[in-house]
Amino acid sequence: MDIAIIVGLDVVSGIASLVLISAGLAVIFGMMKIINLAHGEFLMLGAYATVLAVNAGVNIWFAMLVIAPVFVGLVGVIVERCLIQFLYGRLVDTMLATWGLSLVIVGGTTMIFGNTIVGVSSPLGGFQVGAYQSSLYTPFLALMALFLMTAVFAVMRYTRAGLIARAVMQNPDMAATLGVNPARVYMATFGAGAAMTGLAGGLLAPVAGVVPTMGAAYIAKAFITVVGGGTSVLWGLISASGLFGFINQIAAFLTTPVFGEVILFIAAVILIRLLPTGISGRFFKGRL
C-alpha cells in the first residue's frame, strides 16, 4: 500500500512536469506553427531568473511565480520582434533560426555563469508514508499544472483576447479585415508561450540542477508531448502528458530511469505512427 502511494505520487509528478514543460511549446508550436528549438533555453532562463532573484533576497514564491515568467515573457517578445516575425510560414527557417538562438543563449549564459550547477532549496518540506519519503513540492507541481491548464482554458474559451488569438492563428488575413492587428497578436501570443515556459523553469528550479545546458533534457519530451497530443492545444497536451507521464514513471519504477526514458520515446514513436494527427486529432476534434 505504501509503495503504491509513492508510485502514484511519482506518476502525478511526471504528468505535471510534462504539462508544465510542454504548455509554452503547445502555444508556440501547436498554435503558431513555430518550431522553437530554443524552447529548452527559455525554460533554462526561467530557472536562472529564479535562482538569481532568490540569491538577491527575493522571496522564492515571488521569484518562481512572477519574476521567472515575466522575464522570459519579455525575452520572448524581443525574440519575436527581432527574429520570428520575419519567418512566419517558413517552418525550416524558424527551426534553423531558433536552433542558432539556442546556441547563442547557451553560450552567453555559460560565459556569464559558467558550467557550475546551481539551484534553490525546495520551499516545502517532506512527508513520510511508511518507509518511504516524498516531498510536498510534488503535489504542489500537480496543482500548478492544473491551475495552468485551467487558466489556459479560461483565457482561450471565455476572453476576447483568446478568441482573437485563435482567429488570427487560423486566418490572419480575415482577422486583419475585421480591424485586428495580426502582428501584435503574434507578438503577444509568442510572449505568452515564452512566459509559460519561464514559469515552468522557475517551478523546476528547486527540483532540477540549474545549468546552461539543462534545456536539452526537456526539449525532446516537450516536442513529443505536443506532437503526440495533436492540434488541440489544451486537450491534446493534457492527454499526451497523462499518457506519456504514466508510461515514463511506471517504466522507470519497473526498470531504471534510463530505460524509462527509452520506453517513453518508443511509446511516442508508436503513438505517432498509429495516430499521425495525434491524440486530439482522433479523439478531441474541434476542441481547444
pLDDT in tens, 193-205: 999 999 999 999 9
What pLDDT was estimated at residue 111?
94
Overall number of domains in the chain: 1
Domain containing 93 equals 2-111+136-283
Strand (E) or helix (H) holding 134:
strand 132-135
Q: pLDDT by residue (tens digit) across 9-40?
A: 778 888 888 999 999 999 999 888 899 999 99
Residue 20 lies in a domain: yes
Task: List, for residues 162-171, the tens digit of each pLDDT value.
Answer: 899 988 988 8
Kindly state whether residue 117 falls inside one of the protein's structural domains.
Answer: no
Looking at the domain assignment, is residue 128 inside a domain? no
In a domain, 161, yes or no: yes
Indicate the pairing of strand 126-129 with strand 132-135.
antiparallel
pLDDT at position 1 is: 58
Asked if the model's pLDDT at residue 134 lies above 80, the reply is: no
- pLDDT confidence of 101, banded at 50, 70, 90? very high
155 occurs within a structural domain: yes
For residues 226 and 278, give the distance between their C-alpha atoms in angstroms, rounded to a whole number. 9
CA 78-82-85 angle, to 5 degrees, is: 105
Identify the CATH number of the domain in which residue 220 sits.
Answer: 1.10.3470
Per-residue pLDDT tens for 30-72? 888 899 999 999 999 999 999 999 999 999 999 999 999 999 9
Q: Cell 501547436 appears where? A: 30
**pLDDT exceeds 70 at position 244:** yes
Task: Give the pLDDT confidence score for residue 129 in this predicted structure.
Answer: 67
The half-sphere exposure of 214 on its side-chain side, counting CA atoms within 13 A, is 26
Tell me if 185 sits within 8 A of 168, measured CB to CB: yes
Q: Is residue 90 a part of any domain in this protein?
A: yes
Residue 250 pLDDT exceeds 80:
yes
Instruction: Compute the average pLDDT of residues 88-98.
Output: 90
| pLDDT over threshold 80, residue 130 | no
Model's pTM, two decimal places?
A: 0.92
Tell me the average pLDDT of the chain.
Answer: 89
The confidence band for 286, taking pLDDT boundaries of 50, 70 and 90, is low
| Grid cell of 169 as nine digits | 492563428
Confidence of residue 189 (pLDDT cuts 50, 70, 90): very high
Give me the pLDDT at residue 65, please. 94
- What is the grid cell recorded at 27? 502555444
Query: Is 265 contained in some domain?
Result: yes
Instruction: Say which DSSP state 65 is in.
Output: I
* Least confident span in 37-51, 255-269, 271-285: 271-285
